[in-house]
Structure 1
Amino acid sequence: MNLPRFRDSARYWRSPLLPGGDLLTAEYHDHTFSPHWHEAYTVPVIEDGAECFRYRGAHHVAETGTVPVINPGEVHTGSRAVDEGWRYRVIYLPVDYLHGLAAEIAGREQPLPWFGADVIRDPDLAQRLSYAHRLLEADADARRADPEPRTAPGGNASALALPAPDPLAVEDALLDALATLLTRHARTREAPIGPHVNDPRVETMKALLAADLPAPLRVADLAQAVGLSPFHATRLFTQATGLPPHAWRTQLRLQRALGPLRAGASVADVAAASGFADQSHFTRHFRRMFGVPPGRWQSS
């Protein structure tokens, strides 16, 4: 039996009940996510189909009902694992938010929560996350609804009203889902992967790459800053981060572009301020990372 294919469709939004976080409801068939990273914890729940991805040097498949968590700053990819594609809901959790929640649960300061590379197969957790995400989406829809009463056919002014979920119930569901994730599956951050992850020379190169995003840089500039040849500087950086310096900087530019886009800056202005050659260059990279062009991300 041939199952219907999902279409490439994504919707991002924010909620005041999750300060600083982003939420995504999406389905994909043709779209492929190139290697990238996020500054937040990426917490997806696969609702249908299956996704495959590269993460920590291994190939993974996340099928329906699983939760493939990605830690902040870690490089990963994404594409369909079955013919029909996949549909999922994602919560992008700010590091400070989840770290603070872990401390609240424990009643004392905690190390930064970290998650293993294996796909989490916990149906109860998946159900809690999906439920919380759906309530957040309904709450966001209600907040955007027309505040003026609309009259339905027959004169019933309330028939078309979109009732908002109780914010207390929404937040309770979110905290319940995240507490379940933390108590069952979080651990202390693992030992660094590879010999160069915490190398101070890598941190020096990162700082130089991040200092002035529109400014042109050469590998020779990075190499000189850490006392290595250009070849060895590039190899060290790539081994430590999973991306060569130029690709890592492109990801950082995309992450830093989100704030101005949220604030209403034009896509063209954000592209120029972020150091992209032009708007089309920015749009191409943005879509590879977020699954939608920046204008659509901004409008949602």
Structure 2
Amino acid sequence: MAAAHEGFRAWHPAVTGVTEVLHAHFVDHAYPMHAHASWTLLLVDDGAVRYDLDRHAHLVDSAVTLLPPHVPHNGRSATSEGFRKRVVYLDAAQLPAELIGRAVDQPVLFDAPLRRRIHLIHGALVRPGEEFEAESRLALVAERLSEHLRRRVGEGVALPDPPLARALRELLAERFRSGLTLAEAAALLHAHPAHLVRTFSREYGMSPHQYLTSLRVDHARRLLLSGMPPAEVATAAGFYDQPHLTRHFTRILGTAPGRFARSGRLEA
């Protein structure tokens, strides 16, 4: 059954540093564990969201949430009424990679002025011709986010990220389009297949095949917003065919690829 949603819109603006913008209202949809190659800057406008990040549970309503790239997380409504959210996906280079551990440690930011600045970015992003304003406001927001993360006590909590799990994650990121078998991965990393799966799953909270699928969906959404037809996106992102793409895309994002692509051409 498709998730109930209203006013779903996703698009890729011509703004340096922004890979995607998403405005959505979900009632029934629950995001499974997945990951992005970008920073996820989230505002919840109505309701509240529960999510797990690095095996720690979080609840957010009016605060700002910053989820780091490559770290699996999920998401679901904390109430039966659902939630309305606005997300700006930031290019990974917008914030230093060494701050990822601190964002994992504390992804929720209680900063009303920062929330207001992010709200103004969204206002600029929905108005064609205001790309320079959006870029200017984003520069200040990125600086503020960096200041928040650097002010954390000590060095933050770094991801354990054992070498074997990290090596498999990097291999999957490198081969997500062409794919690989578990036997190939085990041979390349000199590990028993079962040990490889256990180590990765224990470290990242999702199996290697789930992580691989989430990478493909994340890439597919970028291709869809660039105007590529879903049938071509499926093979370009590493899926077997369009139904294969549709099944996993809908499961993770709560909407079909075609609707996702068309939503960017709708009025906000």
- TM bucket normalised to smaller: 0.7 to 0.9
Question: Residues 131 and 280 (structure 1 numbering): CA distance in 2 closer, same or farther, change over 3 Å?
Answer: same
Whether the 8 Å contact between 1:205 and 1:225 is mirrored in structure 2 is no
State how 1:44-55 maps to structure 2 within 5 Å.
44-55=42-53
Task: Indicate the structure whose relative CO is greater, using CA pairs within 8 Å and at least 6 residues apart.
Answer: 2
> What CA distance in whole angstroms lies between the structure 2 residues aligned with 1:214 and 1:182?
32
> Which residue matches 1:32?
30
Identity %: 29
- Stretches of structure 2 lacking an aligned partner (at least 5 in a row): none
User: Post-superposition shift, 1:236?
Assistant: 1.4
| Partner secondary structure for residue 277 of structure 1 | coil
User: Post-superposition shift, 1:240?
Assistant: 2.9
> Which residue matches 1:95?
92
User: Post-superposition shift, 1:178?
Assistant: 3.0
Q: Does residue 287 in structure 1 map to residue 253 in structure 2?
A: no
> What CA distance in whole angstroms lies between the structure 1 residues aligned with 2:124 and 2:177?
40
RMSD (Å) for aligned C-alpha atoms: 2.7
Whether the 8 Å contact between 2:40 and 2:87 is mirrored in structure 1 is yes
> What CA distance in whole angstroms lies between the structure 2 residues aligned with 1:178 and 1:216?
34
State how 1:71-86 maps to structure 2 within 5 Å.
71-86=68-83
Q: CA offsets per residue over residues 53-105 of structure 1, 9 Å max, x none? A: 11121221111x21121110111111110222111211100011334xxxxxx
> What CA distance in whole angstroms lies between the structure 2 residues aligned with 1:272 and 1:230?
27
> Which residue matches 2:233?
270
- Stretches of structure 1 lacking an aligned partner (at least 5 in a row): 1-5, 100-109, 144-164
> Which residue matches 2:158?
192
Whether the 8 Å contact between 1:56 and 1:117 is mirrored in structure 2 is no
Q: How many residues align?
A: 256
User: Post-superposition shift, 1:20?
Assistant: 4.5
Question: Residues 168 and 279 (structure 1 numbering): CA distance in 2 closer, same or farther, change over 3 Å?
Answer: closer
Question: 2:182 aligned to 219, 237, 243, which one?
Answer: 219
> Which amino acid in 1 is paired with 2:148?
R
Question: 2:212 aligned to 249, 264, 283, which one?
Answer: 249
Q: CA offsets per residue over residues 35-58 of structure 1, 9 Å max, x none? A: 001111001111121111111212
Which protein shows a greater Rg?
Answer: 1
> What CA distance in whole angstroms lies between the structure 1 residues aligned with 2:53 and 2:17?
27
> What CA distance in whole angstroms lies between the structure 2 residues aligned with 1:274 and 1:17?
24
> What CA distance in whole angstroms lies between the structure 2 residues aligned with 1:187 and 1:21?
27
> What CA distance in whole angstroms lies between the structure 1 residues aligned with 2:39 and 2:258?
24
> Which amino acid in 2 is paired with 1:97?
Q
> Which amino acid in 1 is paired with 2:247?
R
